[in-house]
Structure 1
Amino acid sequence: MKVLVPVKRVIDYNVKVRVKGDGTGVDLANVKMSMNPFDEIAVEEAIRLKEKGAVEEIVVVSIGVKQSQETLRTALAMGADRAILITAADDVHNDIEPLAVAKLLKAVIDEEQPGLVLCGKQAIDNDMNATGQMLSALLGWSQATFASEVAIEGDSAVVKREVDGGMQSIKVKMPAVISVDLRLNEPRYASLPNIMKAKKKPLDEKTPADYGVDVAPRLEIVKTSEPAERQAGIMVGSVEELVDKLKNEAGVI
């Protein structure tokens, strides 16, 4: 079975994001970029399934700017077999919207014919949590979201996922789209020999035009602003004073 894993280049999760002075977006100048953490977990799970013998080939796909090659090389160094880069933007500030990403992924899947798509549940830059669900709808495939455990059983996948009331186990027929959560695994570090080998692994470059997909944005960012600063707390002298403030100032009781 072949597995396809979409990966996205985002601001590294350790970086404190700064908003541009004019409020037009986020400042990306000299900012460290890395693979979206949820996508990294999806790549790791695909590798583990391959190590168990359930998967024969892992194909990683990234959609965005040319610099996304670095992200794909990281996935190849972890253990993926092939990579596809769809250069859909020239400016790093241009984020490709989920519907356009889903349409491009569907076109790739129509060509590659994987039996399973493993993707991160969301990207940490826009937090939309929509691409996996849209892709499943476009393909007409089964889907399982927020996976914290994945097992392949014949032509089905058993997925354990977290819900408000606890844990839920579902069984979906493959081909399927599974979006993964943080508790699924801990991604491995790429070894130096594997990093060197990754440079020789195939990486195909495509454009949205190759797949006949329009990636023009449908949304307009009106303004970007910093979150409001948290107000300092105060010390109260008694329980009565606390209750009074909660009732009359905070309005929570």
Structure 2
Amino acid sequence: MNSLNEINTEGFTIINTVYTESEIEKLISLIENNTENRVDTATFRKSQDLFAIRQFHKEIPETLPHIFNQNLKNIIASNFGEDYFITKSIYFDKPEKSNWFVAYHQDLTISVDKKIEIENFENWTIKQNQFAVQPPKEILENNFTIRIHLDNTTKDNGALKVINDSHSKGIFRVENLEIEIAKETICEVEKGGIMIMKPLLFHASNKTTNNERRRVIHIEFSNQILPDGLEWSEKTILKV
């Protein structure tokens, strides 16, 4: 099954060896050099269980030429076309002894520049000085996420687990998800590999049990214009 077919039917795909060892080490170096003396801010969060950078591509833009190597640009173009842009990015660093876990959920919100009362845009929140809203499901259905793995990720250090094909059922509450009869996959990804997933795919993450670090760059993409003057707050056009 090719990548696009798998994304459409299962809601995700895993592609290893997208980055070389030296490309990954360069990304790690850029991140470490830019975060060494940073303290908690609206976009930086650090605890014993998690270090996260929101608006990552804006906080450390030097990483972008290295993230979008020819391999990744080819993968995006061949699977989705060339009109997609970044709408959100987060860097996650799950330390070796992390007890941080995430229960099953769908990614239902997008980051926007202001609050406007628009039909079918609901559940408005403000987080880290940024507006977030749940858009109509048609917008979410057309978006995709790429997760770039800077470490080997296994079931023992918090690899995502997903419910296959759950993205095709629309938006619904997790308690209505029949997990016991659904197919669950643990998405192990090698260092230098990526996982592509749809926002409506139910996904979760367990605690780390093997004392191994897990660092991931999470980037969300869309090709859609929002209505009534609403704008994606983190919109960044890719340079091809």
TM-score range, shorter chain: under 0.3
Q: TM-score, normalised by structure 1?
A: 0.25
Q: Which structure features the higher share of helix residues?
A: 1
Determine which structure has more spread, i.e. the larger CA radius of gyration.
Answer: 1
